[in-house]
Each structure stands twice: as structure tokens, then as C-alpha cells.
């Protein structure tokens, strides 16, 4: 893969776009996230190819955060290199997001929600990616110990200074979403989007968050829609060597339980009938809500990425399919981010 990358002329032939809430911004229904597999001193060759493949297939949105790596910051640095070279001429075709909220550097100003941390973190992200601005800047988690007004001030400042075009929030409860929406509105900013975890085995947003987003006219980008890979066939027989559950990272192998496997085996039967893989059905399923603008996936290989993008070939569900899915699409207590949305 060299500097001679030229994007496919067919990249906008895919029926990929959906309007983000009441905004003027369209987002691709599948977004590629760079949490895993894009860090390190040098980006893996396969990962670099995935970025180009995604863009060639109409994925105009790449999701990052200050801490993605490992080490933290390296995913932004690696993506920044590609943005400065191969993707340079496509900058205005691409939506880049970053976030601040989790542990990033030592001391009291290196995490959570103070204006000091959020402001410094965004400056660092811009430097790493060699950008003047990000398209979407997120508060990565709710901070119960910092006044929401202060966080709103920090986000407003980012927009006011031209360092972010749009603002988003991640893993906020319905109640805190309404509060933050109002605080930003008072400051002249419309909160664009919410980024919650959501999948067939993690359905917390259905309780009230989706209704709230609808009322506020905010978009929604659902992260970990494959439950970090649990919504695929890979764990049915055993935990494969090359898999997130075997990596001692964010997916605890203890989550691969009997009750989980029963769900997967039955979901596979439904997916088979739809001529989809479990992963493809899982992505189509999160996109069935009009409020869900995009499914925010991760991928390790080009093959996985292509499979995920092919989910867009069948986005419709019959009532009967949804009813059968509901029998097995039940909580598996996998939501690592629930503490943030408990407030």
C-alpha cells in the first residue's frame, strides 16, 4: 500500500447514507472505529488497507478517541499519517471524530470532564492527527464530579475556536443527555449525536434513550454493535487463538457462557434464513431504528470489514423475524460502559 492510493470512483454508488437526527449532516450507516487494531508504532498493513477499503465502499466516517491505541494516542497518530498522505485530498469527504473523557495522562487534568482536560486533550488530538479541526468532538463519558456547565463550556469553546464542527456525547443516560442538550443549546450549539453501546445482547438504550434522542432531534451512532465480536459464529465451538476474547484486552473470555451460546446458535438459524451471517443480521438489526444513524464497528481483517458492509444488502425485517429475534436477543451483561449511563 503506497502513497499512490486513489479512491474508487464508485465510492458513492452504495446506498449508504442516513441523515443524522435533525441536522444537515449525512453519515454512512456503517462507520469504522479505530479503538482496536489501529495502534502501535506503525499501523498494521491490513489495518491500513481497511481504511482505504472502507472509504472505497462509501464509509466516509472514521471514529477515534484520544486514548485509542495501544499505546494511547497511537491510533490518532497513525490515522494522522494516512490523512497527511494518501487521504489528504479527500479531507473534505471525510468525517473524523475524536473524544476526551478517559484516562490519558498523569495527574488530575488527564481524565474526566474538567475544562482544563477537555481543552488540552482536543489540542493534543489535533496535533497527533495533524488537523485544524475534527468534525465531531465527544464528551467520552459523563463525569458525576464536574458541573455539567463546565463540560458544556469546554465543548462550546472547542466549536467557538473552530477546533470542532459538531459536538457529541457518549454513554450519557437519557436524563443527563437532556441536561447537556439544554446547556449546549443555551450556548448556541445543537448537540449533534449520542454514541451509546448497543447490540442484540445489550439493549439498554431501548428503555428511554432512543425516545429522548428522537424528541431532541439528535442522531445516534451505536458502538460495539457486534458485542466486540460475540455476535458472530467465532465463539460457538471454542475461543479462537486470534480473537479479542483471547487477547486479554477488553473482552473477558468469561463472557463466553452457555447461555450466550444458546442465543447465538438460535440467532444463526434466523440469520441463515435471511441469507445473512450473524454479524450482518446484528448490524441490520441495530439500524432498524429510525433514530440509529450509524452502526459503529471495529474490524481486524478486510474480510470482516467486507462482510459487515454487506449487511446493507438486507436491512429489512418482517414482524415475524423481529419477534423470533426477540426471543434470543436478550441481555448478556456485557456493557462495560454502564457506570457512565447510570447517572
Residues that bind ligand NAP (CB under 6 A): 33-36, 63, 140, 170-171, 195, 223-229, 232, 234, 243-244, 279, 296-300, 304, 307-308, 337
Name the residue among 302, 229, 299 with its Cα closest to residue 46: 302
Cβ 197 to ligand NAP shortest distance, Å: 6
Radius of gyration of the chain (CA): 19
Residue 143 C-beta: closest distance to ligand NAP, Å: 13
Pick the closer one to ligand NAP by CB: 52 or 198: 198
b/e per residue 55-81 (b: at least 16 CB within 10 A): bbbbbbbbbbbbbbbeebbbbbbbbbb
Backbone angles phi, psi at 160, to 5 degrees: -60, -35
Q: What is the dihedral of CA 116, 122, 126, 132, to 10 degrees?
A: -90
Helix axes 45-56, 74-84, angle to 10 degrees: 60
Give the shortest CB-239-to-ligand NAP separation in angstroms. Answer: 9
52 vs 172 by CB, closer to ligand NAP: 172
Closest among 142, 106, 220 to 150, alpha carbons compared: 142
In the complex, the smallest distance separating the C-beta of residue 298 from ligand NAP, rounded to whole angstroms, is 2
The answer to whether residues 327 and 248 touch, using CB atoms and an 8 Å cutoff, is no
Beta bridge partners of 126: none
Q: Tell me the CA distances in angstroms from 316 to 57, 178, 273, 283, one per residue in order.
A: 20, 31, 13, 11
C-beta of residue 151 within 8 angstroms of C-beta of residue 118: yes
Q: 186 or 206: whose CB is closer to ligand NAP? A: 206
Nearest to residue 135, comparing CAs of 64, 205, 79? 64
Minimum distance, C-beta of residue 210 to ligand NAP, in the bound complex (Å): 17
User: What are φ and ψ of residue 155, in 5° steps?
Assistant: -70, -40
Q: Which is nearer to ligand NAP, 84 or 250 (CB)?
A: 250
For ligand NAP, the closer of residues 136 and 308 by Cβ is: 308
CB of 161 or CB of 250, closer to ligand NAP: 250
Give 3 or 242: the residue with its C-beta nearer to ligand NAP.
242
User: What is the nearest approach in angstroms of ligand NAP to the Cβ of residue 132?
Assistant: 22
> With respect to ligand NAP, which residue has the nearer C-beta, 79 or 181?
79
Cell of 195: 454514541
A 10 A CB-CB count for 22 gives 12
> Which of 13, 250 has the CB closer to ligand NAP?
250
Cβ proximity of 173 and 341 under 8 Å: yes
How many residues in total does the chain contain?
343
Shortest reach from residue 138's CB to ligand NAP, in Å: 7
| 64, 104 Cβ separation under 8 angstroms | no
> Cβ 4 to ligand NAP, closest distance in Å?
27
The least CB distance from residue 31 to ligand NAP, in Å, is 8
Amino acid at each position: 500500500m503506497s502513497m499512490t492510493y486513489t479512491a474508487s470512483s464508485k465510492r458513492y454508488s452504495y446506498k449508504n447514507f442516513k441523515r443524522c437526527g435533525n441536522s444537515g449532516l449525512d453519515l454512512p450507516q456503517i462507520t469504522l472505529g479505530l479503538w482496536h487494531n489501529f495502534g502501535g508504532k506503525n499501523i498494521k498493513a491490513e489495518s491500513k488497507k481497511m481504511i482505504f477499503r472502507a472509504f472505497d465502499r462509501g464509509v466516509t466516517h472514521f471514529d477515534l478517541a484520544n486514548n485509542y491505541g495501544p499505546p494511547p494516542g497511537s491510533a490518532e497518530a497513525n490515522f494522522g499519517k494516512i490523512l497527511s498522505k494518501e487521504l489528504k485530498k479527500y479531507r473534505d469527504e471525510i468525517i473524523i471524530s475524536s473524544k476526551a473523557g478517559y484516562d490519558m495522562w498523569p495527574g488530575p487534568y488527564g481524565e474526566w470532564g474538567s475544562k482544563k482536560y477537555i481543552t488540552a486533550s482536543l489540542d493534543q488530538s489535533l496535533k497527533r492527527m495533524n488537523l485544524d479541526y475534527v468534525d465531531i468532538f465527544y464528551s467520552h463519558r459523563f463525569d458525576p464530579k464536574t458541573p455539567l456547565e463546565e463540560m458544556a463550556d469546554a465543548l462550546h469553546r472547542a466549536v467557538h475556536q473552530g477546533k470542532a464542527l459538531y459536538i457529541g456525547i457518549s454513554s450519557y443516560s437519557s436524563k443527563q443527555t437532556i441536561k447537556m442538550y439544554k446547556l449546549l443549546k443555551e450556548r448556541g450549539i445543537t448537540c449533534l449525536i449520542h454514541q451509546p453501546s448497543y447490540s442484540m445482547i445489550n439493549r439498554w438504550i431501548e428503555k428511554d434513550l432512543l425516545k429522548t434522542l428522537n424528541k431532541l432531534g439528535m442522531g445516534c451512532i451505536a458502538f460495539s454493535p457486534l458485542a466486540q465480536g460475540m455476535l458472530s459464529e467465532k465463539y460457538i465451538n471454542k475461543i479462537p487463538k486470534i480473537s479479542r476474547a483471547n487477547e486479554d484486552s477488553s473482552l473477558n473470555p468469561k463472557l463466553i457462557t452457555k447461555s450466550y451460546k444458546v442465543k447465538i446458535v438460535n440467532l444463526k438459524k434466523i440469520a441463515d434464513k435471511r441469507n445473512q451471517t450473524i454479524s450482518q443480521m446484528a448490524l441490520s438489526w441495530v439500524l432498524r431504528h429510525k433514530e440509529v444513524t450509524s452502526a459503529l464497528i471495529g474490524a481486524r481483517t478486510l474480510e470482516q470489514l467486507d462482510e459487515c458492509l454487506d449487511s446493507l444488502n438486507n436491512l429489512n425485517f418482517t414482524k415475524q423475524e423481529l419477534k423470533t429475534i426477540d426471543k434470543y436477543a436478550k441481555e448478556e451483561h456485557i456493557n462495560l460502559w454502564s457506570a457512565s449511563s447510570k447517572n
